[in-house]
Amino acid sequence: MEFNLKIWRQKDARSQGGFIDYNLKGVSGEMSFLEMIDYLNKTLIEGGEEPVAFEHDCREGICGSCSLYINGRPHGPEDLIATCELRMTRFKDGDTIVIEPWRAKSFPVLKDLIVDRYAFDKIMQAGGFISVNTGAAPEANSIPVSKEAADEAYDAAICIGCGACVAACKNSSAMLFVAAKVSQLSLLPQGKAETAKRARAMVEKMDELGFGSCTNTTACETECPKGISMAHIARLNREFLLAGLKS
């Protein structure tokens, strides 16, 4: 197969970037999307050019490294997958494919398709944990957790921290990311004690780092590769309101 690729190239954080067109022949339908870029890079390097920088690691949709905006959608045209799980069979011979990095003020571009997502870690540092020291834990089965609560917490906990929710949101809000963690930990008895403090601290940090506000467009839920539900945002809002009342 042959593709016309329009790829965002940017030397570094300080430089201006722009789209460069590449015509790539000899792509196999069996390739994953990232293997297609590997192949492009091989031809670029062998032709004396610089390869396209992009992030990837596990290549099975769990590490959350990959972060491409493909034809105007985070992680590309298919639902419920990360970029690394996208396969070239999804495209037609001769297609034009536009590839960009995440676009969000809080995720500055470092080079080509690589953005800096450390803001997510900073939000987690503000309160995305249960304050239990090593050794202080009680016997595991002394804290029964209903299966329903455990399953719901799990559904929130599977966030891979890729940032697609932010990239999808017109306001670059990180609400789904924050809500997933607040929801997970407030559903579990172990995490309940700190819920109010946690919700407030994480939301404040999110605002401070320049993420926008949530206007319930549901774009985040649509583009989340793990299908994390907007219902968690509702739970976060509730906890945040309660936190306000308590303070």
Partner 1 sequence: MSKLKSMIPDGPLEEKWNNHKNSVKLVSPANKNKLDIIVVGTGLSGSAAASTLGELGYNVKSFCFQDSPRRAHSVAAQGGMNAAKNYKNDGDSVYRLFKDIIKGGDYRAREAYVYRAAQVSNQSIDQLVAAGVPFAREYSGYLDNRSFGGVQVSRTFYAKGQTGQQCLLGAYSGLNRQIARGKVTMYTRRDMLDVVIVDGKARGIITRNLVSGEIERHSAHAVVLATGGYSTIYYLSTLAVGSNASAAWAAHRKGAFFANPSFVQIHPTSLPQLNDFQAKLTLMSESLRNDGRIWVPKKKGDTRHPNEIKEDERDYYLERRYPAFGNLVPRDVASRAAKERCDAGYGVGETGLSVYLDFSDSIARHGKETIKSRYENLFEMYQKITGIDPYNEPMRIYPAGHYTMGGLWVDYNLMTTIPGLFAIGESNFSDHGANRLGAGSLMQCAGDGYFILPVTIGNYLADEIKTPRISADISEFREAEQAAREKLQNLMAIKGTQTVNSFHRRLGRIMWDYCGMVKNEEGLKKAMKMLAGLKKEFWSDLRIPGTMDEINQELERAVRVADFFELGQLMCQDALSREESCGAHFREESQTPEGETQRIDSRFSYVSAWEYREKDKKHVLHKEELTFENVEIQERSYK
- By CB under 8 A, the residues from 25 to 54 that bind partner 1 are 28, 30-32, 34-35, 38-39, 41-42, 44-46, 48-51, 53
- Length of the chain, please? 247
Residues 108-167 touching partner 1, rule: CB under 8 A, are 110-111, 114, 116-118, 120-121, 124-126, 128-141, 143-147, 150-151, 153-154, 157-158, 160-161
Could you identify the residue written with the tokens 């945002």? 233
* Between 160 and 203, CB nearer to partner 1: 160
- Could you give the CA distance from residue 53 to residue 11 in angstroms, rounded to a whole number? 10
* Between 128 and 212, CB nearer to partner 1: 128
> Is 81 among the residues that bind partner 1 (CB under 8 A)?
yes
| One-letter identity of residue 5 | L
- Among 2, 4, 12, 215, contact with partner 1 (rule: CB under 8 A): 12
- Could you give the CA distance from residue 83 to residue 125 in angstroms, rounded to a whole number? 27
Nearest distance in Å: CB 95, partner 1: 18
Query: Residue count at the site for partner 1 (CB under 8 A)?
Result: 78
Cα angle at 8 between 108 and 25, to 5 degrees? 150
> Is 208 among the residues that bind partner 1 (CB under 8 A)?
no
Is the Cβ–Cβ distance between 64 and 102 less than 8 Å?
no
> What is the distance of C-alpha 32 from the center of its chain?
19
> Is 85 among the residues that bind partner 1 (CB under 8 A)?
yes
> Is 242 among the residues that bind partner 1 (CB under 8 A)?
no
234 by DSSP, 3-state: which? helix
> Is 243 among the residues that bind partner 1 (CB under 8 A)?
no
* Between 42 and 105, CB nearer to partner 1: 42
Residue 151 burial (C-beta neighbours within 10 Å; 0-12, 13-18, 19+): exposed
- Among 70, 188, 219, 228, contact with partner 1 (rule: CB under 8 A): 188
- Could you give the CA distance from residue 126 to residue 111 in angstroms, rounded to a whole number? 28
